[in-house]
Chain A
Amino acid sequence: MGFFHRHRGATPYLLLAPGMLWLGIFFLIPLGFLVYQSLQSGNIDFGFHFTWAFGNYWSALKGYRGEFERSFIYAGLATVIALVVSYPVTYWIAFRGGRWKNLLLLFIVAPFFVTYLIRTLAWQTILADHGLVVRTLIYLHLVSSGGRILATGTAVVAGITYNFLPFMALPLYVSLEQIDPTLIEAAEDLYASKWRAFLKVTFPLSLPGVVAGTLLTFIPAAGDFINATLLGSPTTHMIGNVINSKFNDLIDYPAAAAMSFILMAIIVVMVLLYARAVGSENLTG
């Protein structure tokens, strides 16, 4: 302990310096460059110059409104589905997992160990037009004959849900696991039904996990373009698709930078509103 006490003033800063420098130079400063780039005009042949070109923002919003809307709708849908689907399972692991908890948790994160692009390609196979899933759904008349799932919004949302599910399940599990089961017993001893005890005790105590999970799922999902590319069609493209193609194919850096900044800004505003609605102590908790 003395080691940590003696140079009390300087030690924490010395410990932090290398990591913070890295984050400062390669995360914070680049955000500044993103704004700088977004206000440039010009083209790849004659170079880009800083001209306070605010028009980039207007044309991004005007020209790609559909893509922006789809990004947030798809991400929102995937987040809600991921929450509903994974809550019962994380509850089951936390309260009934016993000594298998760690192993079951490993199953939850297992998809992360198969390269993202490869597991999305696997969904391409599963949802393919003559695959088992589509044929079953046609048989059940849930999809009209000749109908398809691949290249639709449904496939994109399904892909996003699957790919970001562990981001939802892990924080959920952590908050459920910390709940003292005697609190739930106490509620039941006081004549609360199981369902009421869940609504009044378990669920409120798991809220930090719900909040963390929703954010960790929604944010990457809103910027995703892999699922829309591999499972969707041009009519299901999200803003990530546009940013990616403008940066990497069309070399229209200012427009792409403006869109990235708008995406980030919308997410920050949504997170702040959300934090306000659920209480900010749940956010950093």
Chain B
Amino acid sequence: MSSVAVDVRRSRPNALSRAWAFVRRHVLTAYSILFFAYLMLPIAVVAVFSFNHPKGRFNFVWERFTIGNWTHWNAIPGIQSAVELSLEIALIASLLATGLGTLMALALVRYRFRGRGTTNFTVFLPLATPEIVLGASLLTLFLNRSVPLGFWTILIAHVMFCVSFAVVTVKARLVSFDRHLEEAAMDLGANEWTTFRKVTLPLIAPAILASLLLCFAISVDDFVVTYFVAGNQVTFPIFVWGAARVATPPQINVIGIAFFVIAVTAMLGNVALQSRRAKGA
């Protein structure tokens, strides 16, 4: 259409077109800032209300400032054991899932074998299944096989839905991996195991760390699947769910923000570590 118009604009960059370009450039920036404000708004609300001293049982209206919720974070019966259970499950599940996922990622990236497509699909499928179906189907398995619900069923479920995330994370790193580095190590006389330990593992370590963090975060946060298979065990999200019906103590916000700060710090650390590595390389 406007090859002429474009020509004119190019040959005569007048003040108007420059102003238009300026506006256009900054519209996107301004929009992005608004977008980030929108993303952060609920987090800010959670943080602010963690310092609230609510009148009734619900923490929805600002009353007055207090630090008490932070110093007495475990003053609500059951909250401390719920947090402990969530952390325990998340720790074991993220280690197990990342272990299983790393092995699978190695197989999927390094080898051409019969059934590779099916395997890729099976790994992808849990990510494309609504959580409620994951929870419901696991519950029917446990019910029909008379497996008692509790700690172990929660752990089984968490490893199950974390594995796919672990595979995807580690695979992404392995694909962009320069195999010449391994070949060089072998040429210099290192055996396979030494090569794996001294070259492969350090190179995929950031991905393994990222997978651990991701699985931990997903596990700590999970409510739907956990709710189906938890029996009478109470993880932190289940505690919040139970509380939300009758009362919302500000201690819930305290734990939520504490988790958030720790997770963001860990992610920032990983980002800083990786960019320092990139600079060194």
Contacts and interface: CB of A to CB of B under 8 A. Distances in A.
A114 B39 CA distance: 12
A260 B156 CA distance: 20
A16 B186 contact: no
The interface centre, meaning the residue of B107, B160, B241, B252 with most chain A CB atoms within 10 A of its CB, is B107
B228 A27 contact: no
A112 interface: yes
Contact of B29 (A1, A92, A106): A92
A205 interface: no
Contacts of B267: 106, 109, 113
Contacts of A125: 45, 49, 60
Task: Classify the interface of chain B: helix, strand, loop or mixed.
Answer: helix
Contacts of B100: 18-19, 22
A248 interface: yes
Interface in B99-128: 100-101, 103-104, 106-108, 110-111, 113, 116, 119-120, 122-128
Interface residues of A, number: 87
A85 B35 contact: yes
Given A22-B100, A244-B132, A92 B137 contact: no
A31 to B, nearest CB: 5
A212 to B, nearest CB: 10
Contacts of A4: 110-111, 192
Nearest to A162: B42
Contact of B140 (A13, A22, A30): A30
Contact of A15 (B43, B106, B129, B224): B106
B192 A3 contact: yes
A219 B129 contact: yes
A23 B126 contact: yes
A55 interface: no
B175 interface: no
Interface string B138-163: 11110110000000000011011001
A128 B160 contact: no
A29 B141 contact: yes
A201 interface: no
Contact of A86 (B35, B137, B236, B260): B35
A179 interface: no
A19 B99 CA distance: 9
B3 interface: yes
Interface in A223-238: 223-226, 230
B103 A223 contact: no
B5 to A, nearest CB: 8
B271 A106 contact: yes
Contact of A191 (B6, B157, B240, B252): B6
B198 interface: no
A54 interface: no
Task: Classify the interface of chain A: helix, strand, loop or mixed.
Answer: helix
Contact of B137 (A19, A34, A114): A34
Contacts of A123: 42
B179 A247 contact: no
B60 A247 contact: no
B2 A102 contact: no
A89 B111 contact: no
Contact of A106 (B43, B111, B141, B264): B264
A263 B253 contact: no
Given A19-B163, A22-B160, A27-B134, A37 B40 contact: no
B132 A16 contact: no
Contact of A263 (B106, B132, B228, B255): B132
Given A88-B31, A115-B259, 7 more contacts: A12-B113, A33-B140, A88-B32, A106-B271, A219-B128, A220-B131, A284-B124
User: Which A-B residue pairs are the 10 nearest by beta carbons?
Assistant: A223-B130, A3-B192, A122-B42, A30-B137, A15-B107, A19-B100, A113-B263, A12-B111, A34-B137, A118-B256
Interface of B: 1-3, 6-7, 28-29, 31-32, 35-36, 38-43, 45-46, 49, 60, 100-101, 103-104, 106-108, 110-111, 113, 116, 119-120, 122-134, 136-141, 143-144, 156-157, 159-160, 163-164, 167, 179, 182-183, 186, 191-193, 195-196, 217, 220-221, 223-224, 227-228, 236-237, 240-241, 244, 248, 252-253, 255-257, 259-260, 263-264, 267-268, 271, 274-275
